[in-house]
Amino acid sequence: MAKLKWGMIGGGEGSQIGPAHRLGALADGHFEMVAGALDHRPEAGREYAMRLGVARDRAYGDWKEMLAGERGRADRVDLVTVATPNSTHFEISKAFLEAGFHVLCEKPMTVTVEEGEELVRLAAKAGKTLAVNYCYSAYPMVRQARAMVRAGEIGKVRLVVTSFSHGHHGDATDADNPRVRWRYDPALAGVSGQFADCGIHALHMASFICDDEVEKLSADFASTISSRVLEDDAMVNFRMSRGTVGRLWTSSVAIGRQHGFDIQVFGETGGFRWASEQPNQLIYTPVGGRTQIMEKGEGGLYDEAKRLSRVAIAHPEGFPMAVANIYCDLADTIRGTARDGLPTAAAGVRSIAAVHAAVASAKAGGAWVEARPPMFR
């Protein structure tokens, strides 16, 4: 089977997410990297792309040059990944969708709900896939958790508790570092800082595993470092469409936490816990029974968990392999086999609607507000 052609915008040398995309896209032989506009500094971007093996004539200075160069080629890219600052996602994704490319966009997909709804409609009209990189939902044991909920193994879900908190932006003396500062700058990040950066991973995970959608929420935001305009800590309570109660904490100033993303789901007949720092395990307890540690790669798992596991039990698969699973689902979808675990534009617009709802709630002292985008009410 011929490899799909892949190009990347953003994610240049020194970026946090760029290496994960490159490792993920190339891991399983579905894609080859043939084009890139990797840096806001044109020459630096071209030079880095060529070091990665991109031909000189497809190492572009910016995304507009890449669009102009690729759209008329017989061998043009099949998929474009957008890994640029939040405020640029809409314009770039829109332009490539209109030109007939499939797109994988980093989260948040857009900075406004209106832009998100426009991209949902545009992707449908163009007949192209617009996916959002909620990559944590692609860990095998997260897919196992979702399958268990769908199969009724824990009964009706009553409560979901999740957090995504770290301390890597907790040093006030480093607050002006450009790689940190933009995340709290409304001109680049949008209306929200930490909740839009990490919290929406946790909110999406709650919806994904519970196979349900957030309807309303109440939020409390704080900027614990005074120079920051946007929040670096947030608490969000939410309710889902089938009555599930949700609790979420997200923070970037929780010094001592390295990558504290975890989720607990409690149903009528059992519950389970998954944590990103032990991603190959799902800890499950049936009501009245003994706690079990379920391991990636063991027998008896659901097909989705088995399909996305590469190596034998006892060998860990980390974050880049979760990103790789997103690319696996994308490759299958582009080739005609849709994967319902792939986070699409619908998930993207639901997330940004929740972000705006949380901002409004926080400004209103924690009032409960509608969290769904208008197109899904």
For the chain, domains (ranges, CATH) are 4-135 (3.40.50.720), 138-311+345-363 (3.30.360.10)
Going by their DSSP bridges, the two strands 79-83 and 292-295 should be labelled as unpaired
pLDDT of residue 177: 83
Which residues are registered as beta bridge partners of 248?
Answer: 162, 236
Provide the 10 A C-beta neighbour count for residue 364. Answer: 12
User: Among positive and negative, which fits the CA dihedral 333, 336, 339, 343?
Assistant: positive
Residue 16 has a pLDDT of 84
pLDDT tens digit sequence for 71-82: 999 999 999 999
Q: What pLDDT does residue 127 have?
A: 97
Task: Give yes or no for a contact between 227 and 371, defined as CB atoms under 8 angstroms apart.
Answer: no
DSSP label at 2? P
Cβ neighbours of residue 111 under 8 Å, at least 6 residues apart? 86, 87, 89, 90, 189, 190, 191, 352
Rg (CA), the chain: 20
Give the pLDDT score at 237. 98
Read off φ and ψ for residue 137, nearest 5 degrees. Answer: -70, -5
Regions of the chain with pLDDT less than 70: none
Burial letters for 223-242: b for 16+ Cβ neighbours within 10 Å, e otherwise? Answer: bebeebebbbbbbbbbbbee
Q: What pLDDT shows up at residue 270?
A: 98
The pair phi, psi for residue 260, each rounded to 5°, is: -85, 65
DSSP structural state of residue 103: E
The predicted pLDDT at position 260 comes to 86
Tokens of 323: 């990103």
Give me the pLDDT at residue 26, please.
Answer: 97
User: Which pLDDT belongs to residue 175?
Assistant: 76
For 43, the enclosing helix (H) or strand (E) is helix 42-51
CB 282 within 8 A of CB 144: yes
| Cβ–Cβ under 8 Å, residues 97 and 123 | yes
pLDDT at residue 324, as a whole number:
97
DSSP string, 307-325: HT--S-TTS---HHHHHHH
* The pLDDT of residue 35: 98
DSSP 224: S
Question: Is-contact 211 146, C-beta < 8 A?
Answer: yes
Are 271 and 264 in contact by the 8 Å Cβ rule? The answer is yes
* CB atoms closer than 10 angstroms to residue 27: 17
Give the Cα separation of 130 and 330 in Å (integer). Answer: 9
